[in-house]
Structure 1
Amino acid sequence: MNWYAIYTKPRSEKKVADKLETIGIEAYCPMVTSMKQWSDRTKKVSIPVLPSYVFVKLTEPRRNEVFDVSGVVRYVFWLGKPAIIREAEIDLLKEHLSQDYSSVIQTALQRGDKLIVPSGFFKGQEGVIKNTTNSKIQLVLESLGILLTLEK
């Protein structure tokens, strides 16, 4: 059995993961609790760490069963084949999301520098800085194939 990444319709990640679980497919949607501010109130909400992505663990012959769930758009492909996510990367996500974290703040970083994320969701992951501003760092995590934006 392998972990695969699937792309979902916007804001459907949690629903898709729940529906996949009900049909017997192991699914993981990494979520984090965040404070959301409206004009009249502040509330804690769960938001996906990777918007529009859900990870599924299944065998090759069962791969098409995910399309029985509404909200699933397609598999994420890498080099012409469905991207296989290593078990260690899924475990790393689960481990770091289960812990409390603090903001990642760095200074004097430049484009092209390599950076190991010191804390938070992706602690220990190495990435290459794509862009920096006063309050944001865009970091490419090649092993996960994602662009991560770290904010102060």
Structure 2
Amino acid sequence: MNWHLIHTKPRQEQIALTNLQQQGYECYLPVRRYEAQASSGLVIMAEPLFPRYLFIRIGSGNQAKGWGPVRSTRGVSRLVCFGNDPAKADDKLVDALRLCDGRIQSLPAFSHGDRVVVDYGPLNGLEALYQTHEGEKRAMILIEMLSRPTIVRIDRQHLRKIG
């Protein structure tokens, strides 16, 4: 059994993955998780690590499933080939990606220097400059208080990006 690559139709990685798995193929779609600002606060989103590509495991020999059903699966554009040979991916690569899958760090929704507004508590409505994140939920912001800049630590969910 070897891992191969499939090129999917634009933004149809999940559709191709679901349809291939329903046909009994072993597939893997590595994803990257990141934080995004939503009206309800920060939410964790996921997107393919390699847009338009997913891994599929197919064996060789008489007992193996063929490529025919894969080519005609909804969401699949084509097989990735070098010449006439389907591209193979090393088992170690796929295993390493799977190990990192749960540990891929979510990216902060804010960058150093972003203008933000506090939308909760006694600082509600005050504008600030985002400095850095502290842990998973807290951030350091710079607020002007009493005519001087002051560092304040606050939950990131209570910040909203301006602009």
Q: Smaller-chain TM-score range? A: 0.5 to 0.7
Aligned residues: 103
Please state whether the residue corresponding to 2:47 is helix, strand or coil. Answer: strand
Distance 2:39 2:71 in 1: 38
TM-score (norm 2): 0.55
Distance 1:31 1:9 in 2: 17
Alignment of 1:67-82 (within 5 A): 67-82=71-86
Q: What residue in structure 2 maps to residue 47 of structure 1?
A: 47
Distance 2:106 2:24 in 1: 35
Please state whether the residue corresponding to 1:99 is helix, strand or coil. Answer: coil
Distance 1:96 1:45 in 2: 16
Note the alpha carbon deviations across 1:99-148, whole angstroms, 9 max, x for none.
Answer: 25488xxxxxxxxxxxxxxxxxxxxxxxxxxxxxxxxxxxxxxxxxxxxx
User: Structure 2: which 5+ residue stretches go unaligned?
Assistant: 108-163
Q: What residue in structure 2 maps to residue 18 of structure 1?
A: 18
Distance 1:40 1:10 in 2: 29
CA 1:71–1:100: 2 relative to 1, 3 Å: closer
Distance 2:26 2:103 in 1: 22
Post-superposition shift, 1:10?
1.1
User: For the Cα contact (< 8 Å) 2:33–2:106, is it kept in 1?
Assistant: no
Please state whether the residue corresponding to 2:67 is helix, strand or coil. Answer: helix
Structure number, greater radius of gyration: 2
Please state whether the residue corresponding to 1:62 is helix, strand or coil. Answer: coil
Q: What residue in structure 1 maps to residue 59 of structure 2?
A: 59
Distance 1:67 1:102 in 2: 34
User: Structure 1: which 5+ residue stretches go unaligned?
Assistant: 104-152
Note the alpha carbon deviations across 1:72-115, whole angstroms, 9 max, x for none.
Answer: 01011124421011111110111112225488xxxxxxxxxxxx
Q: Percent identity?
A: 29
Distance 1:78 1:7 in 2: 13
Alignment of 1:110-129 (within 5 A): none
TM-score (norm 1): 0.59
Q: What residue in structure 2 maps to residue 87 of structure 1?
A: 91
